[in-house]
Structure 1
Amino acid sequence: MTDYADHDVDLEQEEETGYLVSVSDLMSGLVFIFIITLVAFIINFQEAAQKTQRVQDKMKSEITRLNTIKSRMENNDYVRAQLLAELQKKLEKEYNIAVNIDEKHGVLRLTENSINFDTGSASLNHENLNKLHAIRSVLESVLPCFAANMATGKANCATHENTNNAYLEAIFIEGHTDNTQYRGDSTGQQNWLLSVSRAIKTYMELVQASDVLSQMKNNTHEAVFSVSGYGAERPLDGHKHETPTDDQANRRIDLRFIMTPPEFTEAEKAILKKEGGM
C-alpha cells in the first residue's frame, strides 16, 4: 500500500509541475507578444510624429511664403496711396489746386475745382490750361520715381517710400460727362465721344507736351499713359441723376494709377491658386 501511495503522490507532483510549466510558457508568450506590440506601437508613433512634424513644417513654410506674398501685394497698395497723397499735397501747397483722391481705386480726381470743362465742350480756357500745366509740373517732379525706366539713379527718389521698387504699370486719363444729351442723340454716343475728346485734350497738355511724362515706360517697356472715355456712365457718388442734369461735378477728368503686379515664382503661384488668390 505504501508503494502505491508514494506513486500517486509522484504523479500528482509531476502533473502540478507540468501545469506550472505550461502557465509559465503561456505567460512568456504573452509577454513576448506584448513586447512586440509595444515596439510596433512605438515605431508607428514615431513615424506618425515625424509625419506630423513634416506637415507642420510644410504649413509653417507656406504660411511664411503667403505672408511674404501678402506683404508684397500690400506694399503696392501702400506705395500707390502714398503717391496719391503726395500729389494731392503738392498741388494744394504749391499751386492751391484742390484735387480728390480715391486710395482704394487709385484715382486722382481733377474735379470742377481743379479744371473745368464747359458743357458740351472739350476745350479749356486760359485759366484752366494754366492749372493743367501746373498739374503737369507736379507730375513731372514725382512720377519719374515710379517709372521703371527712370527711377534708378535719381537722387530725389530716395525721399519716397518705395523701398521695394513698386513701379507704375499704367496711368489712364479718363474723361467723363454729365448726363445731358445732345439734341437728336438718344443713344448718348456724342457724350462718349465728348468724354474721349476731353481725355485726349488732357493727354496732349499733360503728357504730349512733356519730355518727361511722354518718356515714362513700365516694366515691359510700354508707355505708361493712355486715355479712355466713359461718357455719362460713371457719375460721382451723390451726383447720379435720373433725368438729364447739367452737373459740373461729372464733367471731370480722373487719373487712374495702376501698379505693376508683383512677380511670383511657380511655387508661389501654386500657393496663391490653392488659397484662391489667383
Structure 2
Amino acid sequence: MLEIDTDAVSEVKISTQTTTDSGRPDIEIRTSDCLIYVEVKDESGLGVRQLERYQLELNRSGFARTCLVLLTRYPMDRAAICDQVVQRRWIHIGTFLETQLKTNAISDASTYFLTTQFVEFLQFKGLAMAKVGTIEADVVRSLRNLCEMLAEAASRLDVSSKRSFYWPEMWMGLNLDGQTFSVGFYMESADLIEFLTGVYSVDRHAAQFEDFGKVVASELPEWTQGDWRWRNTLDLSANEGEFYKLTAGEQLQRIEGFLSNSLQTARSIGCKDESRPPSAN
C-alpha cells in the first residue's frame, strides 16, 4: 500500500472513473512512482475478468510500485480473487477513520469535519458500525422490566396496547388504543419515558393551559401542516435517581400515575378528526 510523508501529500493525485484500455477503475491514486487502482463494490458483483484486466493494466503501467484494491461491503471468496489483489471491507475503512477521529489524529478542522460527515454517511448506509462493547445483563433485564411495567400500567388503566420496536430509531414501548397514543423510550436515553399523542391532533391552545407536557409540531408525512401533538415525559433519573430506589410496586405506581395523567390530559385536549385515514395496526 501507499505510504508517504505528510510533506509529500501534494504529490498525490486522486481521480475517479479514469478510462484505461482495460476498463474504468472506480478510484485511481498516483504519485510520481506509485499507481493504485481501487475497485469499489457495495452489493454488486465483479465484471468479467475485471480484476485481472486491472492488474494487467497496472503491470504494464511502468510505475515502480503498483497495487490493486478491492473495497466491498461483504467478504468475497478469496478463490475468486487474484492473489495480488488487496481486499478490504467498508467496515475496515469506517473503523480506521473513527479511530483517527477519536484519537485526534486529524488536526485540520476542515478535514476533521469532512471525515466526521463521511463516517456518519457510512453508518447511515450500514457500511460502518460502532463496536459492540460489554453487554451488562442487568441493564438488559432492567429494560425488559421497564417494558413489562409499561404494559402492566396500560392493562390496569384498561387501555389496549401493542408492543412496538422501531428501527433504526431504537425506540421501545407500546402503541396505545391502536396508534392513538404511544409510550416508551429510546435506547440511548432509557431514563426518559415519553408519552406522545398519535393519530389525531391536539388543540394547542387548550394544551397551553396545562401545567405539564409540551405541544410539538407533527412530523408525520400523512398529516397536514398545522397539526399538533402533545408530549409528556417522565425522567426516571430525576432527584438523583429516586425512581430506582423504589420497590417494584412503588415504581409501577409511579408509572401508572404518569400514564393515567398523560392519557387524561391528551384526551381532554384532543381534536379528533374522523376524516383522517385509519392508522395501520
Q: What TM-score results when the alignment is normalised by the length of structure 2?
A: 0.23
Structure with the higher strand share, 1 or 2:
2
Whose relative contact order is higher, 1 or 2, with alpha carbons under 8 Å and at least 6 apart?
A: 1
Choose 1 or 2 for highest CA Rg. 1
